[in-house]
Amino acid sequence: HFVEYLNYEVLDDFGWELTDDDLFEKAARADLDRVDYGEILVEPHESILEAAEKHGFAWPFACRGGACSNCAIALIDGEVPPPNSHVLPPELIDSGIRLSCITTPVTKDAQIVYNVKHLPGVNELLL
Ligand code: FES
């Protein structure tokens, strides 16, 4: 499964929103550093966080077990099943927030924004 990723800090820098329809088109055109934007291969047995680390990236995490939400990502496209964890309230899950340490995509392609732990609603959950 291929996951196209984008760093939330880039949205902040450029004034983009998670809800922008053309978010990833803009990212593709912006000549961003590989750390901030690109694509990784996620094997079925690994979490998105593990795959990112295997590709040499240091995405935020703390517990690695679905208990803290430091690793939160926002799903923009594709399917990543909701985590089997009670740390995320249903309204965040409904709005596409997932935990990269315990989830893996089920669609061939997915688009996610990582580093969303400072988003309102997510930052209140941080342990
Ligand atoms: Fe704590 Fe993922 S690192 S929930």
Q: What is the pLDDT of residues 57-107, one digit of tens each?
A: 999 999 999 999 999 999 999 999 988 777 888 989 999 999 999 999 999
Residue among 64, 84, 97, 116 whose CB has most ligand 1 atoms within 8 A, to mutate: 64
Cβ–ligand 1 contact at 63 (below 6 Å)? yes
User: Residue 127's pLDDT is what?
Assistant: 60
Say if residue 125's pLDDT is above 80: no
Question: In the Cβ-directed half-sphere of 78, how many Cα atoms lie within 13 Å?
Answer: 21
Q: Which domains does the chain have, with CATH numbers?
A: 2-125 (3.10.20.30)
Task: Give the nearest ligand 1 atom to 72 CA.
Answer: 2
Q: What is the mean pLDDT of the chain?
A: 93
Tell me the percentage of the chain whose pLDDT exceeds 90. Answer: 80
Is any ligand 1 atom within 6 A of the Cβ of residue 60?
no
Cα of 72 from ligand 1 centre, angstroms: 7
64 lines ligand 1 (CB under 6 A): yes
Give the span between the Cα atoms of 42 and 16, in whole angstroms.
Answer: 26
- ipTM value of the model? 0.99
